[in-house]
Amino acid sequence: MIRIGDIIITLAGIAIVSALAASVYSGGSVHTVQIMGPGHVPADYPAWQDRQVRVTGPLGDTLIEIRGGRARVLTSPCTQKLCLRAGWLDSAGAATACVPNRVSVALLGDDPRFDALNF
């Protein structure tokens, strides 16, 4: 038999776990989209300016879209297309890379989720 106290404790537990998950897994607001191509210095773009950036790698051109504080790989010449499957990156610290084409995209902000990434 379920009592009122059981319901209150269950709801409180769900609320606490939800709040902790939101604070741990959110990377904060995004200020900059950093794009790195093969042998180039990273290029930083404001996250609030919508644009498409074409980066030329050893396999061809990778097209990256920045829109509304988010970024994604739109097209890439690689075979497995894992960078496209990453979808929209929307929190600070999020990153994806087209390793065969030597192109990476990272979102930078106040509170990144990771302190270092290697590609």
Q: What ranges do the domains of the chain cover? A: 29-109
State the Cα–Cα distance between residues 89 and 7, nearest whole angstrom.
37
pTM of the model as a whole: 0.70
Q: Which residue is listed with tokens 């904060």?
A: 28
Q: What is the pLDDT of residues 36-78, one digit of tens each?
A: 998 778 899 999 999 999 999 999 999 999 998 899 999 999 9
Q: What is the pLDDT of residues 81-108, one digit of tens each?
A: 999 999 999 888 889 999 999 999 999 8
- Please tell me whether residue 65 adopts helix, strand or coil conformation: strand
- Please tell me whether residue 12 adopts helix, strand or coil conformation: helix
> 119 pLDDT band (50/70/90 cuts)?
very low
Q: Do 109 and 98 meet the contact criterion of CB atoms below 8 Å apart? A: no
pLDDT at 105: 94
Task: Check residue 102 and give left, alpha or beta (phi > 0: left; psi -120 to 50: alpha).
Answer: left
Q: Do 35 and 104 meet the contact criterion of CB atoms below 8 Å apart? A: yes
CATH superfamily of 29-109: N-utilization substance G protein NusG, insert domain (2.60.320.10)
